[in-house]
Amino acid sequence: MARKTPGINTGSMADISFLLLTFFLLTSSINTEQGIPRKLPPPATDIVTAPVNRRNVLEVVVNFKNEISANGSIITVSELKDKAKEFLENANNSEDLPVKERKSINFIGDFMVSQGVVSLKNDQSTSYDIYVQVQNELEKAVNELRDKVANQYFGKKYSTLDTAIQNAIKIAVPMQISEAKPNDLNNQAQ
């Protein structure tokens, strides 16, 4: 008669595996992606359109070929930041660039605030990479203008100032980016 080989009891192995799996799930961190920080407008119940001075709008369009145009001129992603800064700042008070309005701002005093708005339109076929690059360049433009005002009035970078002063600079250099719903710009051009 043949001998039976003794078996290994593996019943507790499942319990140990479950405990190890639970331990690793609870102790590991899951990297969560963050979106683009944008404050969305409240839902419109009645759509009211106010007249807009054309010189106050910088139209940035990204087409289906991922080409970027600013007020009809084709530009590269790297040129967008400087174009937006020039537009929003209007340093020489040019007639072709946005109107400036004098505002009295806490911690700063009277300041000429640009009424410029960047209107961003994308094609439905625009790549996500280009979309994010355009958003980043527009945000860099505003941040550099805020740094310039912070250095001029407080001698520090915007990010190092306390919250109350940062809020004052946000009034002086607002981030006014209007984003339209993506369209099929390819079909509209035909």
CB contact set of 133 (below 8 Å; sequence gap of 6+): 77
pLDDT for the residue 59? 93
Domain containing residue 86: 54-183
- How is residue 83 annotated by DSSP? H
Profile the chain (190 residues) by mean pLDDT over runs of 10 residues. Answer: 74 86 86 64 59 85 93 94 94 89 93 92 90 92 95 94 94 88 58
pLDDT, tens digit (0-9, with 9 covering 90-100), for 32-67: 666 666 655 556 565 556 666 788 999 999 999 999
* Domain count of the fold of the chain: 1
Asked whether residue 158 is domain-assigned, the answer is yes
Residue 82 backbone zone (phi > 0: left; psi -120 to 50: alpha; other: beta): alpha
User: Is 172 a domain residue?
Assistant: yes
What does the alpha-carbon distance between residue 70 and residue 60 come to, in Å, rounded to a whole number?
5
Q: Are 118 and 84 in contact (CB under 8 A)?
A: yes
- Which residue is listed with tokens 């174009």? 83
